[in-house]
Structure 1
Amino acid sequence: MTTFLGRHDEADDHIITLIGHGADVRVVRAGTDKRSVLGGFAEALALPVWFGHNWDALVDALRELANDDARRIELVWDHTHELRERSPETFAIVVDILEQVADERDDLGLTVIDR
């Protein structure tokens, strides 16, 4: 299940709640175009060197995303407003990818914050 929060929602409180529930919270800043989106995921999630900075590689990397202590991973894609406004197609592709991978994994939650 994906949680969508708007710019007037209490996004920071949501993140604090996720941490309080013991989740491994990973925050990724959205970027403004495809290149910066993929770079943001690579940097924030410390994706492996084989990450090819394309949509298929993002799917593969997210499928393999893990942590050392087997806690639930909560992926927070933050500051999406500018991307959604500038490049709605890129925004929609990323949401589709994130939801696809989250649906495949029992240990991955997803929050999209539009601020």
Structure 2
Amino acid sequence: MIRHLRPPVDVDALVADAVARGRVVRLVVAGETKTATLEAFADALDFPAWFGGNLDALADLLDHLARHDEGEAELVVDGVLALQREDPFAAAQLNGVLGEVALAHPRFHVSVIER
């Protein structure tokens, strides 16, 4: 499941709620550019050094993560508004990747915070 949230959003409460539901929670703070956002995913999710730094590689690694998580998981992507302003096409592509992974893996929940 993917959901889009607009301010005001209390990230701590969002994370606490997901944890209370038994989910493993991962938080990524998006950057202003596609490159910065992909780097943020790589850093926050501890991607391997061979991560290609493109949306196809992101999709592959998120799919791998979703398949190998035990139980429920939640990915919180905060701060996408700057990316939407600076590069709307990249933001739409990112949203597509996140939506595809969430659709393919019902136990992998995605919350996108648009601020």
TM-score, normalized by length of structure 1? 0.90
Assess if the C-alpha contact under 8 Å between 1:5 and 1:11 holds in 2. no
Assess if the C-alpha contact under 8 Å between 1:29 and 1:78 holds in 2. yes
Matched residue type, 1:19: V
Counterpart of 2:101 in structure 1 is 101
Counterpart of 1:27 in structure 2 is 27
Assess if the C-alpha contact under 8 Å between 1:31 and 1:40 holds in 2. yes
Assess if the C-alpha contact under 8 Å between 1:7 and 1:114 holds in 2. yes
Q: Residue 21 of structure 1: CA displacement?
A: 1.1
Q: Residue 11 of structure 1: CA displacement?
A: 4.0
| Structure 2: stretches of 5+ with no match in the other structure | none
Q: Residue 2 of structure 1: CA displacement?
A: 1.2
Identity rate of aligned residues, in percent? 36
CA 67–26 in structure 1, closer or farther in 2 if over 3 Å, else same:
farther
**Quick one: distance in 2 between partners of 1:28 and 1:69?**
17
Assess if the C-alpha contact under 8 Å between 2:73 and 2:108 holds in 1. yes
CA 11–26 in structure 1, closer or farther in 2 if over 3 Å, else same:
same
TM-score, normalized by length of structure 2? 0.90
Secondary structure at the aligned position of 1:99 is classed as: helix
| Structure 1: stretches of 5+ with no match in the other structure | none
**Quick one: distance in 2 between partners of 1:15 and 1:69?**
17
Counterpart of 1:87 in structure 2 is 87
Deviations 1:47-90 (A, max 9, x none): 12221101111111111115987131101110111111111111
Judge which range, 27-36 or 65-74, deviates more: 65-74
Matched residues, number:
115
